[in-house]
Amino acid sequence: MNDDADIWEALYTTRAMRRMRPDPVPLDVQARIMDAAVRAPSGGDAQPWRFLLVDDPEVKARLAAPYRESVAMLWRGHYADQVAAAAADPESETSRRFVRLQASVQYLADHFEDVPLLLFAFTRNDRDGGSIFPAVWSAMLAARAQGVGSALTNVLDIFRPDTTRAVLGVPPDRGWDLKATVALGYPRGRWGVAPRRPAHEVTFRNGWGEPAGFTADAPLWPR
């Protein structure tokens, strides 16, 4: 089956794909992902990035425990209220949505060492990540264009940055900050359009709160 996507399909169907087949991502596919990624914009065209690809099972295995610890900290910290709310009222739509997300996030954590390819994105002099995330997203779109799924994560850079840097041999004194870890692999599931709050509800025109001038109740792709 041909899973290649054009730009519109890639924009609409690049979801968080956390369940992946074990098949490796061929080097020529990886080359196209990275070659597309480095076309991305960055402030002053500084291109303040280094990317580190990991497909060595030993390296992945050394990062699996820190990744799982990080996700555990996420549930105990940032998402503690939502975990408690979902337990208190499991039937509500909000709870169901959260529990689905939690199960998917936890699945990736539980299978971290089985992810075929990991992409670590580093930047420097770029505190808010504005000069690295366009390249990361381009990599994810270029992956999608070739039928490769991806999941953007940042728990390692939040909770275990030093361990991750040590495992990956990142020089400690050159200012490289880990900003994202992207899991890459051929998906087990199917591609689908990401459900989101409609564009016209979050878009204003000429003044805050003013109507956007268009409505898009249903996704405009496919036409």
Residue 109 CB, nearest approach to ligand FMN (Å): 8
- Asked if 194 interacts with ligand FMN (CB under 6 A), we say yes
For ligand FMN, give the closer residue by CB, 10 or 151: 151
- Asked if 16 interacts with ligand FMN (CB under 6 A), we say yes
- Asked if 105 interacts with ligand FMN (CB under 6 A), we say yes
Token pair belonging to 195: 């459900």
Number of amino acids touching ligand FMN (CB under 6 A): 12
Residue from 37, 117, 139, 151 in contact with ligand FMN (CB under 6 A): 151
For ligand FMN, give the closer residue by CB, 136 or 170: 136
For ligand FMN, give the closer residue by CB, 159 or 210: 159
Q: Give the whole-angstrom CA distance, residue 105 versus residue 153.
A: 9
Q: Where are the beta strands (DSSP E) in the chain?
A: 49-54, 117-123, 149-153, 177-185
Q: Give the whole-angstrom CA distance, residue 208 versus residue 108.
A: 39
- Asked if 95 interacts with ligand FMN (CB under 6 A), we say no
- Asked if 101 interacts with ligand FMN (CB under 6 A), we say yes
Half-sphere exposure of 113 (CA within 13 A, CB side): 10
* Binding span for ligand FMN by CB under 6 A among 56-64, 87-95, 146-154, 202-210: 146-154
Query: Mind spelling out the 3-state secondary structure of 128-178?
Result: CCCCCHHHHHHHHHHHHHCCCEEEEECHHHHHCHHHHHHHHCCCCCCCCEE
Question: What's the distance, CA 87 to chain centroid?
Answer: 27
* Interacting residues with ligand FMN (CB under 6 A): 15-16, 18, 101, 105, 108, 151-155, 194
